[in-house]
Amino acid sequence: MISRLVRTFTSMKIAIYGAYGYQGRLVRAELARRDAEIILVGRDAERLAAVAGGRETRTAAITDHDALVAAFRGAGAVINCAGPFTPAGTAVVRAAIAAGCHYTDTSGEQLHIKRVHDTCSEGARRAGVVATPAMTDGGVPGDLLARVLADHLGGGPLHEVLTGHSVTGGAGMSRGSMRSLLGTADVVRSGGLAYEGGEWRTEARPRLTSLTFPGRGPVPMSRFALPEVVSVPRHIEVQHVQGFVEADLAAQFSGAVPEEAVDAFPENPDAEARRGQRWAVLVRAGTPDGRRATAFAEGSDTYGTTAAIAAEGTLRLSGPPGVRAPAEVLDPAAFLNALAPTGTTWKIT
Ligand X SMILES: NC(=O)c1ccc[n+]([C@@H]2O[C@H](COP(=O)([O-])OP(=O)(O)OC[C@H]3O[C@@H](n4cnc5c(N)ncnc54)[C@H](OP(=O)(O)O)[C@@H]3O)[C@@H](O)[C@H]2O)c1
Q: Is 137 in the site for ligand X (CB under 6 A)?
A: yes
- Name the 3-class secondary structure at 197: coil
Q: Is 346 in the site for ligand X (CB under 6 A)?
A: no
Alpha-helical segments (H) within 184-331 = 185-190, 228-235, 247-254, 259-263, 271-276, 302-316, 326-329
Q: Which stretch binds ligand X (CB under 6 A): 84-92, 125-133, 189-197, 289-297?
A: 84-92
* Residue 63, number of CB atoms within 10 A of its CB: 10
Q: Is 243 in the site for ligand X (CB under 6 A)?
A: no
Among positions 15, 36, 38, 43, the unique one binding ligand X when judged by CB under 6 A? 43
Minimum CB separation of residue 227 from ligand X in Å reads: 7
Among positions 36, 68, 75, 81, the unique one binding ligand X when judged by CB under 6 A? 81
Tell me the site size for ligand X, rule CB under 6 A.
29
For 216, counting Cβ atoms within 10 Å of its Cβ (0-12 exposed, 13-18 middle, 19+ buried), the class is exposed
Handedness of CA 76, 18, 84, 170 (dihedral sign): positive
Among positions 7, 44, 45, 155, the unique one binding ligand X when judged by CB under 6 A? 44
DSSP secondary structure letter of residue 317: -
The residues in 287-316 that bind ligand X, with binding defined as CB under 6 A, are: 302-303, 306
Q: Is 18 in the site for ligand X (CB under 6 A)?
A: yes
Among positions 106, 163, 294, 342, the unique one binding ligand X when judged by CB under 6 A? 106
- Dist CA 174 CA 180 (whole Å): 10
* Residue 53, number of CB atoms within 10 A of its CB: 10
Contacts of 95 (CB under 8 A, 6+ apart): 60, 65, 68, 69, 71, 72, 78
247 neighbors 224 (Cβ within 8 angstroms): no
Residue closer to ligand X by CB (options 20, 213) is: 20
- Dump strand ranges (E) for the chain: 13-17, 37-42, 56-59, 77-80, 102-105, 130-132, 158-168, 194-196, 199-201, 210-212, 218-223, 238-246, 278-286, 292-300, 322-323, 345-348
Residue closer to ligand X by CB (options 108, 322) is: 108
The interface mask with ligand X, positions 260-279, x = CB under 6 A, is --------------------
Residue closer to ligand X by CB (options 158, 193) is: 193
Minimum CB separation of residue 166 from ligand X in Å reads: 13
Among positions 86, 104, 177, 222, the unique one binding ligand X when judged by CB under 6 A? 177
Q: Is 183 in the site for ligand X (CB under 6 A)?
A: no
Q: Which stretch binds ligand X (CB under 6 A): 6-14, 68-76, 175-183, 203-211?
A: 175-183
Among positions 69, 77, 83, 124, the unique one binding ligand X when judged by CB under 6 A? 83
DSSP secondary structure letter of residue 70: H
- Dist CA 26 CA 19 (whole Å): 9
Minimum CB separation of residue 1 from ligand X in Å reads: 28
Q: Is 328 in the site for ligand X (CB under 6 A)?
A: no
- Name the 3-class secondary structure at 298: strand
Q: Is 20 in the site for ligand X (CB under 6 A)?
A: yes
Where on the chain is the footprint of ligand X (CB under 6 A)? Answer: 18, 20-24, 42-44, 62, 81-85, 88, 106, 108, 136-138, 174-177, 180, 302-303, 306
